[in-house]
């Protein structure tokens, strides 16, 4: 087990990689334009991957490359070159699910670590040990495992086999993401990174003799239905996950925005650091501002996932939508003499109270007395995409601080 658990954040592109690291990630995971499980994100070219690796390594962080789809015969011939390009770029590990890809990584990147993806469905210690025997340095555990099962795996596998587990984000309705629903309904294969997420659409039932009468799908004490899982949130019991023997705490979300990645990474950095201050304490108390921060991103209702048993892995059958209480409105590019230079990402108006989140996790509330555009003219709002503007702020706001405002109805 690693002496200090790693905080692992998603990086859908170079910008999100940089925000993840600036906001507290120890490592990031990303993908190329093919062979990864998130084609919805922009992903990386070989050149961008090299730039991302340089950025990460300069700050003592790591970068892992996902190659965890189930490739076809036609794709196999392109994989060796992709592996060699990634090695040249400087990746620290490959995340794989397919045994053929694992063998290719061993052949073409013998000095680079291998992590076995959650797509491989590691649900027991025998499977974890088999992965180790095949050359895996780390296994990404199935989301369906509870805490006792993880502890049992830790007790039965070699000490130098690292365990990684998801701690926050979306949960697939199918076992470890092996879903056929997207392919069946839309022709987009979830096992090849193209998931349309039909499990999160809002459905009604129609009885054939009553056309036009739509009946809601719900749940009761007898059980839940199969669609629209809640988001996982483990910040309140991050101590228990660490104590179970998990080496890497993984945040889901390569298709999420840079703001989401920064905010959630910042929250879990604070939660993990609070635990690490005294890992032997009888009781871990998650800081209140962690929960407050996790409410400032767009998300579905939270649940603890499967960590306390299947009955806790709740589903949201009342709505197919997200909870969104705050909106991202800008990025701080610099600060000097009480004035913040900003770039617009959303409109706000003079008189609005806004909040800044800094890379150190500090939150600063302000109600700007004026807004000036790039020409130095006072304006009433910031209506134009990426427009440059300045606002007064006595508190120093470091570059890459993020601005947001509460949504009012």
What lies within 8 Å, CB to CB, of 215 at 6+ separation is: 204, 205, 206, 207
In this predicted structure, what is the pLDDT of residue 1?
A: 55
Q: 57-77 burial, b for 16+ CB within 10 Å, e for fewer?
A: eeeebbbbbbbbbbbeeeeee
In this predicted structure, what is the pLDDT of residue 38?
A: 55
Domain 327-406, CATH: 2.40.30.10
What pTM does this model have? 0.88
In this predicted structure, what is the pLDDT of residue 228?
A: 58
Helix axes 46-58, 79-89, angle to 10 degrees: 30
In this predicted structure, what is the pLDDT of residue 174?
A: 57
Tens of pLDDT, residue by residue over 273-291, are: 999 999 999 999 999 999 9
Tens of pLDDT, residue by residue over 11-59, are: 999 999 999 999 999 999 999 987 755 555 578 999 999 999 999 999 9
CATH 3.20.20.70 correct for 6-175+229-312: yes
CB 26 within 8 A of CB 8: yes
Instruction: Look at 12 and 216; give whichever has higher pLDDT.
Output: 12
Tens of pLDDT, residue by residue over 387-409, are: 999 999 999 999 999 999 999 87
Question: What is the Cα–Cα distance from 81 to 67, expressed in whole angstroms?
Answer: 13
Question: What is the Cα–Cα distance from 23 to 26, expressed in whole angstroms?
Answer: 10
Tens of pLDDT, residue by residue over 65-113, are: 999 988 989 999 999 999 999 999 999 999 999 999 999 999 999 999 9
| DSSP labels, 199-246 | GGS--EE--TTSTT--EE---BTTB--SS-BPEEE-GGGHHHHHHTT-
CB 171 within 8 A of CB 143: yes
CATH 2.40.30.10 in the chain, residue ranges = 327-406
CATH 3.20.20.70 in the chain, residue ranges = 6-175+229-312
Separation of first and last alpha carbons in the chain: 48
In this predicted structure, what is the pLDDT of residue 3?
A: 72
């Amino acid at each position: 087990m690693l002496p200090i658990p790693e905080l692992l954040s998603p990086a859908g592109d170079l910008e999100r990689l940089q925000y993840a690291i600036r906001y507290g990630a120890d490592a990031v995971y990303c993908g190329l334009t093919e062979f990864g499980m998130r084609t919805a994100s922009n992903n990386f070219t070989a050149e961008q991957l090299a730039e991302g690796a340089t950025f990460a390594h300069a700050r003592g962080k790591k970068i892992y490359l996902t190659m965890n789809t189930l490739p076809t015969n036609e794709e196999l011939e392109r994989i060796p070159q992709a592996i060699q390009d990634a090695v040249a770029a400087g990746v620290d590990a490959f995340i794989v699910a397919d045994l053929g890809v694992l063998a290719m990584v061993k052949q073409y990147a013998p000095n680079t670590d291998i992590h076995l993806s959650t797509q491989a469905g590691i649900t027991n210690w025998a499977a974890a040990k088999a992965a180790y025997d095949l050359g895996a340095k780390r296994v990404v555990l199935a989301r369906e495992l509870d805490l006792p099962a993880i502890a049992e795996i830790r007790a039965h596998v070699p000490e130098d086999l690292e365990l990684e587990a998801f701690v926050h984000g979306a949960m697939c309705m199918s076992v470890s993401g092996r879903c056929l629903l997207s392919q069946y309904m839309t022709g987009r294969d979830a096992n090849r990174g193209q998931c349309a997420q039909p499990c999160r659409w809002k459905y009604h039932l129609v009885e054939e003799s009553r056309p036009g009468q739509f009946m809601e799908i719900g749940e009761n004490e007898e059980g839940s239905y199969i669609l629209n899982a809640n988001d996982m949130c483990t910040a309140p019991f991050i101590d228990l996950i660490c104590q179970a023997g998990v080496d890497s705490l993984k945040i889901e979300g390569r298709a999420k925005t840079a703001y989401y990645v920064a905010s959630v990474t910042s929250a879990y950095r604070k939660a993990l650091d609070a635990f690490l201050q005294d890992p032997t304490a009888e009781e871990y108390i998650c800081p209140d501002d962690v929960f407050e921060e996790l409410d400032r991103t767009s998300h579905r209702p939270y649940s603890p996932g499967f960590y306390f048993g299947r009955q806790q892995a709740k589903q949201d059958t009342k709505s197919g939508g997200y909870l969104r209480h705050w909106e991202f409105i800008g990025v701080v590019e610099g600060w000097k003499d009480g004035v913040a230079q900003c770039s617009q990402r959303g409109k706000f108006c003079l008189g609005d109270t806004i909040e800044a989140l800094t890379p150190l996790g500090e939150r600063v509330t302000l109600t700007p007395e004026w807004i000036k555009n790039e020409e130095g003219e006072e304006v009433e709002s910031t209506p134009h995409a990426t427009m440059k503007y300045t606002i007064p702020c006595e508190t120093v706001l470091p570059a890459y601080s993020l601005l947001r405002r509460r949504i009012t109805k």
